[in-house]
A and B are shown apart, each in its own frame.
Chain A
Amino acid sequence: MKLFLILDVALGFLMARLRQSIVAAVGVTFGVAMFIALVSFMSGLNDLLDGLILNRTPHIRFYNEIKPSASQPVNRSLLFQDAENFIRSVKPKDQGKEIYNSKAILQALKSDPTVIDVAPKAATQVFFNTGVIEIAGIVNGVDIQAEEKLFRFSDYVLEGDINDISNSSNSIFIGKGIADKLLVDIGDVIQVTTPKGDISSLKVAGIFQFGLAEIDNSTSYASLATVQKLLVKPASYITDIQIKLTDIKNAPATAFALSKEFGVDAVDIQTANSQFETGSKVRTIISYAVGITLLIVAGFGIYNILNMLIYEKMDSIAILKATGFSGRDVQGVFILLSLIIGIAGGLSGLLFGLGLTALIDNIPFETPSLPTIKTYPIVYSGVYYVIGITFAMVTTFFAGLFPARKASKLDPVTIIRGK
């Protein structure tokens, strides 16, 4: 009942200054809409840029690091057990890059419910040759089905059918950079030289492009068997095991645990790519800062109109007080007024924000390095809308609070006398 009355009076004042009220509301609309468009777009961009790396990166990678033995012979000698042993010029021991007992590890990982899938890999450095040209690069021997499942390899294939990798031996998919340098196309044969000096001829079955020049200029994919044959190794030879987990957040802990369990080195995605998280965070902070700044500017607009309204409606405030409205009632009127402007502006801001993001979402954005992206990236999330409207309400509340308190303190006698 009382709220109704206060709302009634607030609306009356609002109608008396409808044009300025609308202008103030449009300020809020603009702030909220820009905030939503900006955050949605920045998040889209973040996901895109992260995806560029993170989609290509396993949550955990198991491998054998080249490093010195953890326990040097002198430490094992009973004679020097209580002594502090200094050893200089320790050299790493070449245990090879092979993961031993890989079959058992693969089996164990595949039956683990927190693991989405497992992709084994046998990678080696090579030289690609045609004629007299030699390009240093890498051949990844992979299980192409697992690779497709974990990393959506086919998204990045420009030409060729990925199944050819497993179907016909001695086939190879090469990065676009290599193809351009070697001037080869599908069906051509290239020579590959291993570090041991063995030379093989492989047929180009496809060309891919990840959008990262470093990879596209040096990397190629073949079947596990092809690489094992290339290196003259048995069918159990594997250098990397890559897994994805159901929850990426568990990667560091799981990596640590599994590394101990299997006795191999493991690196998790967070450790391997910490710089990307930093970049995402900075972009997120920037978009929030800009959006919030816009809303605060809108808040000043509301502050202004309310101050003007109070000045104009001084007589009305005096008469309300003289006829029995308390200071708190008057304060309520002006806060409500501000909230009405905030809600109206904020809600239309949500709509405009949605429209603006939809618009950005439809702007063509085609770049050869991102074959799957056709338009600018947008993330649609209710959270941004909730944040937008909440912040609009908070800003307008405070923008209204100060003028409202001023109005509540106005002394009716001074105003009535002033005539």
Chain B
Amino acid sequence: MANMENEPVLRTKGISKSFFDPVENKVLKDVTFQIERGSFCSIVGKSGCGKSTLLYILSTMDTDFEGELYLDGQSLRGLSNMELARVRNEKIGFVFQFHYLLDEFTVLKNVILPGIKLGKLTKEQLEHEAMGLLKIMGVDDQAMKKPNQLSGGQKQRIAIARALINKPVIIMGDEPTGNLDKKNTEIVFEIFKELSQERKQSLLVVTHDDDFARRTDRIIEMEDGRIIKS
């Protein structure tokens, strides 16, 4: 594990995936790339070119593909569903286009839930941690509210706090600003930028906002299931 620092946080080799619906539709074709530790990357491409499909594979939620996937130096091939759940819990923070918060729990509880699942910190430590994250996101005053009382921009910031609670090796986002207005998009971008610069947090974000992409460290461009430029 000595060379861990040099090992890219995420690495793929020849990832391909087809849907059979009802005829074969090859959505990903031999996708090979890697993400260096601490870099802020964006994936762009036309709608339907396979960005989301790739991201679900990278986040271990979709295991039905060909090729190799290494996360944090570890091959994810052949891991059981339980082990993959553990990997997602510990190493990946996911931010979706829609916020997917649990309306039955408070904001604070939503943020610490993956942390309780991980079980490394006590509830009190997690709450302390979560309050710190909410403060960075500028929504610490909403901690005791239920998510359905908040605006879309606030919800997305809470989702980012939740993605960060277990100090993941990488944050993935599938059009995290796709559903936000210009002002909130700006806020979310600034948060990502800050995480990248100050915490050396690795980020991989799918977006169709060219302006957003242009301001990231690296743009990966996809077309028809292939990476054409990166």
Give the interface of A toward B (CB within 8 A).
1-2, 5, 8-9, 12-13, 15-16, 315-316, 318-329, 412-413, 416-417, 419
Contact = CB atoms under 8 A, between A and B. Distances in A.
16 contacts: A5-B117, A13-B104, A315-B100, A318-B100, A319-B100, A320-B113, A321-B61, A321-B85, A322-B100, A323-B89, A323-B94, A325-B89, A326-B85, A413-B61, A416-B61, A416-B100
B212 interface: no
Nearest to B96: A416
Interface in B87-117: 88-90, 94, 96-98, 100-105, 113-114, 116-117
B66 interface: no
Contact of A324 (B90, B104, B174): B90
A9 B104 CA distance: 9
Contacts of B114: 323-324
Contact of B62 (A9, A12, A413): A413
Top 6 A-B pairs, shortest CB-CB distance: A324-B89, A326-B85, A12-B104, A319-B100, A323-B114, A16-B104
A417 B52 contact: yes
Given A322-B61, A413-B56, A417-B52, A16 B118 contact: no
Contacts of B116: 5, 8
B81 A327 contact: yes
Contacts of A5: 113, 116-117
Nearest to A8: B116
Given A8-B116, A16-B103, A413-B62, 8 more contacts: A16-B104, A316-B103, A319-B101, A324-B86, A324-B117, A326-B85, A327-B82, A412-B61
B119 A2 contact: yes
A178 B59 CA distance: 94
Given A16-B104, A315-B100, A324 B118 contact: yes
Most buried by B among A12, A321, A413: A413
Interface of B: 52, 56, 59, 61-62, 81-82, 85-86, 88-90, 94, 96-98, 100-105, 113-114, 116-119, 162, 166, 174
A416 B52 CA distance: 10
Contacts of A316: 102-104
B81 A326 contact: yes
Contacts of B81: 326-327
A316 to B, nearest CB: 5
A322 B162 CA distance: 12
A321 B90 CA distance: 13
B164 to A, nearest CB: 12
A325 to B, nearest CB: 6
B162 A323 contact: yes
Contacts of B90: 324
Contacts of A419: 97-98
Nearest to A327: B81
Contacts of B98: 419
B82 A328 contact: yes
B100 A325 contact: no
Contact of A326 (B82, B96, B102, B166): B82
Contacts of A329: 85, 117
Contacts of B97: 419
A15 B113 contact: no
A12 B85 contact: no
Most buried by A among B85, B86, B96, B114: B85
Contact of B85 (A15, A324, A413): A324
Contacts of A320: 102, 113
A315 B117 CA distance: 18
Nearest to A408: B81
Given A5-B117, A412-B61, A324 B88 contact: yes
A419 B88 CA distance: 21
Nearest to A6: B117
A16 B85 CA distance: 26
A325 B62 contact: no
Contacts of B62: 413
Contacts of B56: 413, 416-417
A331 to B, nearest CB: 12
Contacts of A319: 100-102
Contacts of A12: 102, 104-105
B104 A15 contact: yes
Contacts of A323: 88-89, 94, 113-114, 117, 162
Nearest to A326: B85
A419 B52 CA distance: 13
Nearest to A2: B119
Contacts of A2: 119
B94 to A, nearest CB: 5
A374 to B, nearest CB: 54
A311 to B, nearest CB: 15
A340 to B, nearest CB: 15
Contacts of A16: 103-104
Contacts of A413: 56, 61-62
Nearest to B101: A319
Nearest to B106: A12
